[in-house]
Amino acid sequence: MGQGKEMGETTSGFLLGGRVTYRQFRAGHRSGFEPVLLAACVPALAGEWVLEAGTGAGAGLLCLGARVPGVRGAGVEQDADLAGLAEENFRNNELDGIFSVRANATRPPFGPEAFDHVFANPPWFGAASTPSPDPVRALAHHAGADWIPGLVSVLRPKGTITLILPAAALSATAAALRAGCGGVTLFPLWPRAGMAAKMVIMCARKGSKSPDRVLPGLVLHDAQGITAEAQGFLREGKALLF
């Protein structure tokens, strides 16, 4: 890792109910439920290649690797310290087919059609948004739908792209995907039953002519806390495939 952060500034924990060990930096961007749900939505099979853009400390690929033994993957991360920590997390979990690459997620350093699937939690903060005082968090919130063309370029025909995004970014995301993908599937994440969805998952296939779909979605919380259905994906590692 680089010189900006010391090992003492990391915290250790677990993902998927303890199946995955996970270290992340105490300061800066912290992983939430987003990478875990994203990993549950990627329809990867053993032996296929998956790219996660903006992998951070590797939470998404760690969860995918735990669910799909034998999957191969690359995590692109611009921050050198995060890229190094992701690599350590992959090695600590014995995911020998997954590695991290320090690069700009808008320009993945791979040839055309190199991956069967790509996924990301792109930043969706516009130019008018107040920047974070933390430089790592500010970098994570810098871009938007401009990630999508580069990700589609490294995707094989009929391969999938899966994104998690705020509901307010739906139109920008759909417009960007239309340039090379179809069969867009929208999966809302309801905070509670009867409440408007603030976040959604969107999946599409490169070159697909299938019609778009809106699925029932997932209710995240009820009176007891995280719903049993959500726990199946967040803690038990079930697949949330469309």
d(CA 54, CA 76): 6
Determine the distance from the C-alpha atom of residue 188 to the mean position of all C-alpha atoms in its chain, rounded to a whole number.
16
Q: Parallel, antiparallel, or unpaired for β 181-192 and 218-222?
A: parallel
List the structure tokens of 223: 């009176």
Can you spell out the DSSP letters for 171-234?
A: HHHHHHHTTTEEEEEEEEEEEETTSPPSEEEEEEEET--PPPEE---EEEEETTEE-HHHHHHH
pLDDT at 143: 52
pLDDT confidence of residue 31: 84
Query: In angstroms, rounded to a whole number, what is the distance separating the alpha carbons of residues 60 and 3?
Result: 25
| 8 Å CB contact between 232 and 33 | no
Whole-Å CA distances, 164 to 87, 120, 159: 23, 7, 17
In this predicted structure, what is the pLDDT of residue 141?
A: 41
Task: For residues 78 and 73, give the distance between their C-alpha atoms in angstroms, rounded to a whole number.
Answer: 17
Cβ burial of 10 (10 Å; 0-12, 13-18, 19+) is middle
| Full set of structural domains in the chain with CATH | 7-234 (3.40.50.150)
pLDDT tens sequence for the chain (242 residues): 233 344 449 999 999 999 999 999 988 778 889 999 999 999 999 999 999 999 999 999 999 999 999 999 999 999 999 999 999 999 999 999 999 999 999 999 999 999 999 999 988 765 444 444 444 444 334 456 889 999 999 999 999 999 999 999 999 999 999 999 999 999 999 999 999 999 999 999 999 999 999 999 999 999 999 999 999 999 999 999 88
Token pair recorded at residue 22: 């996970």
Question: Which has the closest alpha carbon to 161: 144, 175, 180, 143?
Answer: 180
* pTM for the predicted model, two decimal places: 0.89
- Specify the amino acid at residue 115: F
